Amino acid sequence: MEFLGRTPGNGNCFFEAISAQLERLQLPRRTPERLRQEVTTYLKIKPTYTANGELVNLKDFVELEGDFMEYCESMSKNMEWADHVIVVTMARMLEQNIIIVTSSPETDKDDSLVWVDGGEGCNEKLPLLVGHYWEYHYQSLQPKESLKTSQNREEEMMIDFKKQNMIDHTNDQNTHQCDDLPTRKINKKFVRCKDGLTPGCHYMVLGLYGLKKRMIFDGENFVEPTADNDGANKS
């Protein structure tokens, strides 16, 4: 993929990037200002959704201390940086999957793509393509090949993701794989796997919009590996 123009670094870059993506896919255009107002209003009204048969409450993932409505009001202001909650809400509101090429340290070094699910029926649509310099800037993207073949390239990308069930779990022999992850919150960002896990073992745990991280199951919760517990069983 390559840059689609230069997304302004004006504090509204995520909304600028999404606005450019709507135009790229020839969808009804919305200005960055309109997108910001619409997504924060949508979040106030619909903070919950169902994924994999489980209820997700986005209020649980808000990291700002204080009232949820205060968070929404803060995010509605010009130049307020979008966070993971806004990214997920945007995908749900637009009913569009968003593919993010991220430099996040929480993604696998060989897999820097994050798929943000827009909800039922979105897999049949071309996704929005966004780059993310971690904790710094969002950039609108487009397929690297010519515009004439870009739709075919995106369709191929969608097929690849479907084959991998959207998330490519690690094949590390020291890491157990978790399927059908419920969406209960762990430490704001991470979710708990199903029951029946082995205490002391390492697992790849998925976060709110697909970020994955190696963590240790202590018998009750997933915890960050430390010098004290990293000698746990990895078999």
Tens-digit pLDDT string for the chain (235 aa): 899 999 999 999 999 999 999 999 999 999 999 999 999 999 999 999 988 788 888 988 887 667 899 999 999 999 999 998 999 999 999 999 999 998 876 666 556 788 899 998 898 999 999 999 877 899 999 998 644 455 565 555 554 444 333 333 333 333 333 433 333 333 333 444 445 567 777 766 655 554 556 677 777 777 777 777 666 454 3
Q: Both 75 and 105 in a single domain? A: yes
Check residue 13 and give its pLDDT.
97
Q: Both 178 and 158 in a single domain? A: no
Number of domains in the chain: 2
Say what the pTM is: 0.67
Q: Both 159 and 175 in a single domain? A: no
Look up the domain containing 222 and give its range: 169-235
Alpha-carbon gap, residue 135 to 153, rounded angstroms: 29
Q: Both 179 and 142 in a single domain? A: no
Q: Both 196 and 111 in a single domain? A: no
Q: Both 13 and 93 in a single domain? A: yes
Q: Both 22 and 62 in a single domain? A: yes
Alpha-carbon gap, residue 201 to 188, rounded angstroms: 21
Alpha-carbon gap, residue 16 to 18, rounded angstroms: 6
Instruction: Go through the chain and tell me how many residues it has.
Output: 235
Final residue in a domain of this structure, among 163, 179, 211? 163
Alpha-carbon gap, residue 2 to 142, rounded angstroms: 6
Q: Both 135 and 178 in a single domain? A: no
Q: Both 176 and 159 in a single domain? A: no
Cα dihedral 25/28/31/35 (nearest 10): -90
Final residue in a domain of this structure, among 163, 189, 205? 163
Q: Both 109 and 211 in a single domain? A: no
Q: Both 177 and 216 in a single domain? A: yes
Question: Looking at residue 82, which CATH number applies to its domain?
Answer: 3.90.70.80
Check residue 89 and give its pLDDT.
96
Q: Both 155 and 215 in a single domain? A: no
